[in-house]
Amino acid sequence: MSVRQGLLALLAETPMHAYQMRQQFEHRTGGTWPLNMGQVSTTLDRLVRDGLVEPADTADADAEVQRYHLTAAGRDELATWWATPVVRSTPARDELSIKLALAVSAPGVDVRTIVQAQRTETMRAMTDLTRLKADLPASGWSSEDLAWSLVLDHLVFAAEAEVRWLDHVESRVARAAAEGGTSDETAVSRRAAATARATAATAAASGGAR
Amino acid sequence: MSRRPLGPVLLSVRGVTRVHGTGTTAVRALDGVDLDVRLGELVAVMGASGSGKSTLLNIAGGLDTPTSGTVVLAGDELSGLDVKARARLRRRSVGYVFQDFNLIPALTAAENVSLPRELDGVRVRAARREALAALDEVGVADLADRFPDELSGGQQQRVAIARALVGPRRLVLADEPTGALDSATGEDVMRVLRARIDAGAAGLLVTHEPRFAAWADRTVFVRDGVVVDGTGYAAGPESLLASGVR
């Protein structure tokens, strides 16, 4: 879970207290993923339990809040995180792909209309995201500006992938309609098995690295 | 790009139909298209190849003539003008930006930009002055005396944008302007185009890349010669604030 590694990454730079971690996490990711203090303290408790983080000695007796720093094991864990690609094995249950998968076989549903409505909506979201990007200065970015723009880019590229996929769906459906589509139960079970195999293979391949 | 209120309509396309060929082989490239572009506005046109988006761009710029319907550019109806007057209006009001930059290789950046002004009848020295100002606005003033083959793709496209909007030109028609550029350079070019339009121009952008269309104020979708949908004017970043993105 990325909050856990995110806190490790922050603590590697300097000891912090919980509130600072929350602030820094939000600031450095452009506020895209707000955290509540409950999430921070729960995560922090687990990190301490697992021996990755420990309370820092407080030289200043007046300090009201406890600061934390990384242990050697915490540094190892963080190094592993930087070095390991994020696993993309099990596809998340995505409403849009479920909706379109059902739509192609549902009677009386016009897939083209669904595709166009979604394309417009996704394009609208992309336009809003791009406007936030455009508000950044043309040059002379701080590292926070860069971090924020990269987070926005991630959302923009993901939205773009969705639009491209919708284009693909549209042309596939048009072609299938021209050829006269069929519904085939054995094809369905064959595909389910293939998906399960692919997922298992990816998980196994990534398992060794974890 | 701060969202100033948009200016007056600069380009108005009304009920435009374009039919290629006749009889049974007739193809309707456009079929009853309406589209307005206001000053300060960039409109993106998206659609599959063969959807009619390029025809729309050509008709908007007076390079092609509709079979029926009207195109009003800067207050003049194109079909009401004779060939000569239409050519003059097109030359003085519209600039083009293409995928392959289309700069003249034997002319420097400044000469490429001043050429349309010299054709407008402006004296060489004044045209050069305007060209240098236009190059400055797109951030390449220091490259004024370089030839196109001494410029990167992104730099050439900036020069092309300067050329498109030099002098009185207010409408830029951009056909896949980022098509030959890498992702980051393409974004720089969109940022420049956006800034020039915000400073007092209008643009119609044809692209098949959603990421670049997202720099427009709105996107319209063309399919089989018909505008099937559009994003409309965005609610703006406030809607994102509400949904948790900064």
Which of B191, B232, B237 shows the shortest C-beta gap to A138? Answer: B191
- Residues A140, A183 within the same domain: yes
**Could you tell me if A114 and A168 lie in one domain?**
yes
Q: How many domains does chain B have?
A: 1
Q: How far is B89 from chain A (nearest CA, A)?
A: 32
Beta bridge partners of A68: A16, A55
Burial class (CB in 10 A: 0-12, 13-18, 19+), A146: exposed
Q: Looking at the structure, do residues A102 and A182 belong to the same domain, yes or no?
A: yes
Query: What average pLDDT does range B187-198 have in this prediction?
Result: 94
Least confident of A190-204, B164-178, B207-221: A190-204
Q: Do A159 and B219 touch (CB under 8 A)?
A: no
pLDDT-based confidence at B234, cuts 50/70/90?
low
pLDDT, residue A59, reads: 63
Interchain contact, A127 vs B221, CB within 8 Å = no
Interface contact flag, B234 A127, Cβ < 8 Å = yes
In sequence order, the β-bridge partners of residue B98 are B175
**Residue A2, min C-alpha distance to chain B (Å):** 17
Q: At what angle do helices A37-49 and A2-13 cross, to 10 degrees?
A: 80
Alpha carbon of A132: minimum distance to chain B alpha carbons (Å) = 7
Interchain CB distance below 8 Å, A116 and B234: no
Q: Which residue of B has its CA nearest to A124?
A: B231
Distance in angstroms (rounded) separating the CA atoms of residues B72 and B13: 7
More confident position, A109 or B236: A109
Among the partner-chain residues A31, A119, A131, the one whose CB lies closest to the CB of B237 is A131
* Cβ–Cβ below 8 Å for B210 and A155: no
Q: Quick one: A59 and A103 in the same domain? A: no
Q: CB neighbours of B13 closer than 8 A, spacing ≥ 6?
A: B33, B34, B35, B36, B56, B59, B60, B69, B70, B71
Provide the token pair at B179: 């098509």
**Structure tokens belonging to residue A94:** 């995505």
What is the per-residue pLDDT for A208?
42
Residue B26 in domain: yes
> Is A151 among the domain residues?
yes
Residues of chain A with pLDDT under 50: 207-210
In order, the DSSP letters of B14-61 are EEEEEEES-GGG-EEEEEEEEEEEETT-EEEEE--TTSSHHHHHHHHT
User: Can you tell me the distance from the alpha carbon of B207 to that of B219, in angstroms, rounded to the nearest whole number?
Assistant: 10
Given an 8 Å threshold on Cβ–Cβ distance, is B214 in contact with A156? yes
Higher pLDDT, A88 or B31: B31
Is there a domain that residue A201 lies in?
Answer: no
Nearest chain B residue to A30 by CA distance is B246
What are the DSSP calls for B114-168, one per residue?
A: HHHHHHTT--HHHHHHHHHHHHHHTT-GGGTT--GGGS-HHHHHHHHHHHHTSTT
**Is residue A114 assigned to a domain?**
yes
Range of the domain at B16: 9-103+154-242
Residue B214's nearest CA partner among B77, B7, B44, B88 is: B44
The chain B residue lying nearest A157, using CA atoms, is B211
Q: What is the CATH number of the domain that holds B228?
A: 3.40.50.300
Collect all residues from B whose CB is shorter than 8 A from any CB in A: 1-3, 46, 48, 139, 191, 194-195, 209-211, 213-219, 221, 228-232, 234-237, 239-240, 244-246
Convert B231-243 into a string of H (helix), E (strand) and C (coil): CCCCCCCHHHHHC
Domain that holds residue A149: 95-189
Query: How many Cα atoms within 13 Å fall on the side-chain side of residue A20?
Result: 13
Chain centroid to Cα A210, Å, comes to: 18
Residue A205: its pLDDT value, please? 60
Mean pLDDT of chain B: 90
Which residue among B48, B210, B239 sits closest to A123, beta carbon to beta carbon? B210
Domain assignment present for residue B109? The answer is: no
B241 — pLDDT class (breaks 50, 70, 90):
very low
A127 neighbourhood in chain B, CB within 8 Å: 214, 216-219, 231, 234
Question: Are A131 and B210 in contact (CB < 8 Å)?
Answer: no
Domain membership flag for residue B136: no
A30–B214 C-beta distance less than 8 A: no
In a domain, A136, yes or no: yes
> What SS3 class is residue B177?
coil
From the list A32, A135, A159, the residue facing B245 with the nearest CB is A32
A14: its two tokens: 């300097």
Q: Write out chain B residues lying below 8 Å of A34, CB-based.
A: 244
Predicted local confidence at residue B236, as pLDDT = 52
Looking at per-residue confidence, does B197 or A137 come out higher?
B197
Chain B nearest CA to A116, separation (Å): 8
Same domain, A130 and A179: yes
Place of tokens 């988006």: B53
Per-residue pLDDT averaged across B161-170, rounded? Answer: 94
Q: What is the pLDDT of residue B2?
A: 47
CB-CB under 8 Å, A119 with B214: no
Mutation target vs A (from B158, B211, B229, B238; most A CBs, 10 A cutoff): B211
CB environment B168-196: b (16+ within 10 A), e (fewer): ebbbbbbbbbbebbeeebbbbbbbbbbbb
What pLDDT, on a 0 to 100 scale, did the predictor assign at position B229? Answer: 87
CA angle B8, B9, B11 (to 5 degrees): 150
Residue of B nearest to A122 (CA): B231
Residues of B in contact with A119 (CB under 8 A): 221, 229
Q: pLDDT at position A194, please?
A: 74
A23-27, B33-37, B118-122, B200-204: range with lowest mean pLDDT: A23-27
Q: Is residue B21 part of a domain?
A: yes
Residues of A in contact with B46 (CB under 8 A): 123
Q: How confident is the model at residue B246 (pLDDT cuts 50, 70, 90)?
A: very low
Interchain CB distance below 8 Å, B1 and A135: yes
Q: Tell me if A196 is assigned to some domain.
A: no
Residue B158 domain flag:
yes
Type of residue found at B113: V
Residues A62 and A122 in one domain: no
B228 assigned to some structural domain? yes
pLDDT of residue B80: 83
- Say whether A134 and B215 touch across the interface (CB within 8 A): yes
